A and B are shown apart, each in its own frame.
Chain A
Amino acid sequence: MTLLTTKEMARFVARGHLRFDALVPIDLNERVVEELEALTRDRWRPDGATKPPATGTPLSACYPSPSVLGEILRLPRVQGIIRSLVGREPVFDHDFVHLREAGDLWEQPLHADAIIDPTQFAFDVQLFYFPHELATGEGGTRFVPGTHLRRVNELEVGRYQHLLGEEHVCCPAGTIVVFHQGLWHAGQPNRSDRRRWMYKIRLNATERQLQLWNTDDLATLHNGPDDHIFARFADDSVAKQFRHKEKWCDNADYRLEQVQRARLWRYLTGDETFDVDYYLTRVERHRRLESPS
């Protein structure tokens, strides 16, 4: 099992997604379509032979053999990604087969899944699996990197038709894109002459998401609260990744995004002194001055 690196985790915290091109082998991509068809056909039927697992089922018990979806979810690299983000025994929240027929031009409004989550740090992940190659205009999911820490409720962001820096998944077969639960996204028209399949699964962590990834490089990349762009800063630190500015983000909110990322990194590493550009540390110093105890 290959776990994520600190660099990959920092990128996930900063941008809300990780993309793994052609991760699933070709033969599984070809064989899975039949199972996706069955899931689509049977999902709403009381007597359907192929049904999704019950919500709350441990992932390890989902899609037992023989199941191509099970084979994919149990690939060592997929297991490593899942374990790094949501731990050793995540549970199945739900999944769905997103089928867009050839020529289906409906465009889904931008949204964040489920409902607004007042929880501060703990998060679910959603794996978006594309079993076949997708070119521009073939229905690849639209998403807006770096929106995952914004507090919005579902379709409230549907007003945003176009945002600078948004992406549409164009990818080779077998690509998996992992989303933080809060990332804004939308299904897109399929202008091609073939069906577009996409399988999405949401997983809940059952343990505190504390240093679950491969932390061999943590000490090297993790920075102290003194890593400050206007003073002395490291060129390869986590802070540097957290300074990434999304093109859709305004200048003032950009700094608050860094604060949100720093707070999530504190949760993930257990280091309550971590900071980016001194924003949290400065405020905390003021707070201590006002409340000596």
Chain B
Amino acid sequence: MSVVRQQVLYLWLDTSSLDGRVLGWAFHDGASGRGPTPPAQEPPYATGVSALGDGWCLLQSSQLIPSHPGMEHTTSFLKHEFVFERRVELT
């Protein structure tokens, strides 16, 4: 009997477009290493689109939110966050 487990990949890109270049990444593995795992110490993909090409499905992208008045020059979190999932079938 097979079970399905979710893998989640966060990519932070250099623009709001999915074909932007990867600046940061995080991986969470519901399959506990029993499925394919991306390399930890180097960007797993060059762009968000390359992740799609490797079987990742886009779950969410960050909204484009206008700056709050008075905060136009403030920097905080990385803005262009894309969350992907991949479902791994384990036997």
Contact = CB atoms under 8 A, between A and B. Distances in A.
Given A160-B26, A164-B24, A251-B14, A152 B76 contact: yes
Contacts of B76: 150-152
A164 B23 contact: yes
**B interface, by DSSP: helix, strand, loop or mixed?**
loop
A162 B76 CA distance: 17
B5 interface: no
A268 to B, nearest CB: 18
Interface string B8-40: 001011110000101111110000000000001
A247 B79 contact: no
Interface residues of B, number: 23
Contacts, number: 64
Contacts of A263: 73
Interface in A34-56: none
B28 to A, nearest CB: 9
A246 to B, nearest CB: 9
B73 A260 contact: yes
Contacts of B14: 250-251
A247 B24 CA distance: 9
B80 interface: yes
A159 B77 CA distance: 10
Interface in A227-277: 247-253, 256-257, 259-260, 263
A163 interface: yes
A260 B75 contact: yes
A249 B21 CA distance: 11
A257 B40 CA distance: 28
A163 B24 contact: yes
Given A160-B12, A160-B78, A253-B79, A248 B73 contact: no
B25 A161 contact: yes
Contacts of A156: 77
A159 B14 CA distance: 17
Contact of A159 (B15, B26, B40, B73): B26
Contact of B27 (A152, A160, A161): A161
Contact of A248 (B24, B26, B27, B40): B24
Contacts of A151: 74-76
Contacts of A251: 14-15
Given A160-B12, A256-B74, 7 more contacts: A150-B75, A159-B10, A160-B78, A161-B26, A162-B43, A164-B22, A256-B75
What 10 A-B pairs are tightest by C-beta distance, nearest first? A161-B26, A163-B24, A250-B14, A151-B76, A259-B73, A150-B75, A248-B23, A256-B75, A162-B25, A253-B75
